[in-house]
Structure 1
Amino acid sequence: MSREQWLAFTPRDTVAVRDGRPFRAGVDFVAESVPPWPSTIAGAVRAAYGDREPQAVRGPVLAKFTDTGEWNLHFPMPADVVRFPGGRAYLLRPDPELAGIITDLGEGLLAPARKGKVEPAEGWIPASALTTYLHAKVSPGGFDLRKELRPYRQGADPLVPERRVGLARTRARTAREGYFYQSVHLRPRENWAFLACCDLPSDAEEPLWRPRNVAQLGGGSRLADVTEADGVDWPKPPAAFPGGRVLAYLATPALWRDGWRPPLPQGAELVGAAVPAPRPVASSSPRTARERRTKLLDTVSLRWAVPAGAVYLLRFEDLSRAAEWAGRQHARPWGPPAAERLDTAGFGVVLIGTWKEPHS
């Protein structure tokens, strides 16, 4: 048994988290940063709890502290939301008219209700809008993106990129001549933070699990203020799944054994998937390095992650089985993961919804 406790990490400076690809100053010129990975926030949680590890960490989730003193969770736009340039938005759904076209998913493809060239909708949407989406209250046949899902408009992203100039150093920590490079950091806007849902032991003594006020977050020894975030909860799943139709939305990046394909529950078929381009993710373990008496770089592993926002459309033969799996899986890691402990670090957390047939 466990109890949930949300922690908010508010960076004091920019956030520097590498995207996982090798970088050598003097050969490459720009080092990209990405929002913190689940393993990044799990390490920060462990540091906040004085090197104690919760049973699991689920996050990070971007959130804004409102004027009413509450945290408003925000999530990446679902990948099956597309729009025509300057027009209405649509949901990608299985198209019966494309039957007979064979893909690695079988017959049929995902398509918008109206034919034509579309582009993915991007941005962050609030938890209330995502709840509306999960409950299939958004029309697949076309809707007003601004009114229905209310994404942050382009140019007002909660994470602002900042370019920094760096200089590579020798092992003696002196400057290497001619080895300039640029690195892109991310600076959260005012009142924005990264939240993590921690599963603490239900019998844990309160003083032992009181977080420290400050913890390291990301690279460069950058710090974040840590506070307990009370009253926070995940978007609620729907109560019913008509026709056995279950939608799984990735709230955090996933690392599965079969790449972009998740492990399907018994009695379910994968009808369609909207998956953005994979992202490289590197992880390392200071503890493993100490145990092996080796360098931290020797413990680095590089994998390709399914980004948060990916959407999977399932159909169950048995409605009761659909409801049972949905209730058990909501806001939990969808596993097994590609390697041990990736799920308890927060990879592959899914939020469950339902979906409608095309033209419904």
Structure 2
Amino acid sequence: MIVKITPNDVLFFRESRDFTAGDSHLAESLLPLPHTIAGALMAVMFVKGRYDLLNLELKEGKFRKPENWKPNFEIIGTFFMKKNELYFPVPKDIVSAKADGRSIITMAKLKEVQIGGQSFTTVFAEGESPLHFSPVSGFLSFEKLKSYLNGEYYSKNDLSEEITKNSSLYKWENRVGIGLNSSKTTVEGMFYRTRMLRLEKDTAIGIVLSKKNLDEVKKTLGKKGTLKLGGEGRFAHYEIIDEDPLEELEEISVKKNALFKLYLATPLIVDGQSWNIAEVLPEHINAKIVKVFMDRPEKITGWDLVKRRPKETLYAVPPGSVYILKAQEDLTLKPFYRLGMMVELGYGLVFAGKYG
């Protein structure tokens, strides 16, 4: 099931640290993280009195979270949607290179080379200068992501037409403001600027839910409704789409010593600091990491409403990251895995894919 959220206005998502116009003149929105979107959905459940779904305990008139708290429903992931189709961050092994005097988008490939009697794995891209390439930003629709995971892109010369640009889904909108005191008059030195997130026409945010207590979630949310989203609590409306697109994916068989890939559809929190996915792989995946394509880690912050203080800052491997692994034995891989911390809030969704 997908909860499709369509904002009525611009949105603002930010770190949990305070913003004071006098201390900083610029407040920039981030792209929404899974737990932020999950929080908006849980707020609807809280208002409707479904404390059981939120796994909250009411003691002495105050709500408390049990130790090692988790909600009693699960989010598989949160994504942008366009005309009811999910969109995923471009995999980091899709790169831009020069060919025939122009830029093309192609797959980065691995090659073993011998130097001084030792074997090394290098990365190259088809083009005029195979060792010189740059990352690509954008998104793949779910249909195109399936082609990528099936290894079909390795045989294509230019993938430019496969990529959906960021600007097709959202844009950044700058606004200015000035601080007011309690009497609604301006305060000197409190001029500031904000960068807001505006979704483009037909673009929404999709929350993919697991089957855990799904009937109760449906009963609570109804077919449609409204919620508050982002740091300024802007209104958005939601509707339920009774589909599970991930059911279309199939298992992958990998022979011993063959390469395969793991693609991160949502941020992966290994332990709050590490990038090493091997630490959280299921035991049946006996494989060795050969190469990693990733960007800088993402900071995961938030505000604990029960304890009324910022949550501990964790660092996640960003979505779009790709791990290339070598199977140490014959493997049968599930279409996707949910790995690491906070998977119940939409983190750690990892798809298995073919290499070559």
Residue among 32, 57, 63 paired with 2:81: 63
Which aligned pairs between 1:9-48 and structure 2 lie closer than 5 A?
9-19=5-15, 23-48=19-44
Which aligned pairs between 1:240-319 and structure 2 lie closer than 5 A?
240-243=253-256, 244-257=258-271, 258-262=273-277, 263=279, 264-266=281-283, 267-286=286-305, 288-289=306-307, 296=308, 298-319=309-330
**Structure 1 position 123, deviation (Å):** 0.9
**Structure 1 position 285, deviation (Å):** 2.3
Deviations 1:90-123 (A, max 9, x none): 3223321276799xxx943433355242111211
In percent, how many aligned pairs have the same letter? 24
**Greater strand proportion:** 2
Larger radius of gyration: 2
**Structure 1 residues 37, 332: closer, same or farther in 2, change over 3 A?**
same
**Structure 1 residues 82, 101: closer, same or farther in 2, change over 3 A?**
farther
Cα distance in structure 1, aligned partners of 2:223 and 2:179: 35
**Structure 1 residues 15, 209: closer, same or farther in 2, change over 3 A?**
closer
AA in 2 matched with 1:95: K
Deviations 1:111-156 (A, max 9, x none): 335524211121111111111110111117x621124xx11246x3
1:90·1:113 contact (CA, 8 Å) conserved in 2? yes
- Name the SS of the counterpart of 1:301 in structure 2: coil
Whether 2:196 is the aligned partner of 1:185: answer: yes
Alpha-carbon RMSD across the aligned residues, in angstroms, is 2.9
**Structure 1 residues 206, 256: closer, same or farther in 2, change over 3 A?**
closer
**Structure 1 position 157, deviation (Å):** 3.3
**Structure 1 residues 232, 15: closer, same or farther in 2, change over 3 A?**
farther
**Count of aligned pairs between the two proteins:** 321
Residue among 228, 231, 244 paired with 1:219: 231
Residue among 141, 152, 161 paired with 1:137: 152
Whether 2:347 is the aligned partner of 1:334: answer: no
1:48·1:212 contact (CA, 8 Å) conserved in 2? no
Unpaired runs of 5+ residues, structure 2, are: 55-71
AA in 1 matched with 2:240: E
- Name the SS of the counterpart of 2:38 in structure 1: helix
Query: Which stretch shows the higher mean deviation, 208-217 or 221-230?
Result: 208-217
**Structure 1 residues 96, 169: closer, same or farther in 2, change over 3 A?**
farther
- Name the SS of the counterpart of 2:36 in structure 1: helix
Cα distance in structure 2, aligned partners of 1:62 and 1:220: 20
| Matched residue, 1:231 | 243
Deviations 1:292-323 (A, max 9, x none): xxxx3x2333233222111111222122xx31
| Matched residue, 1:293 | none
- Name the SS of the counterpart of 1:139 in structure 2: helix
- Name the SS of the counterpart of 1:270 in structure 2: strand
Query: Which stretch shows the higher mean deviation, 250-259 or 238-247?
Result: 238-247
Cα distance in structure 2, aligned partners of 1:93 and 1:172: 63
**Structure 1 position 45, deviation (Å):** 1.9
| Matched residue, 2:58 | none
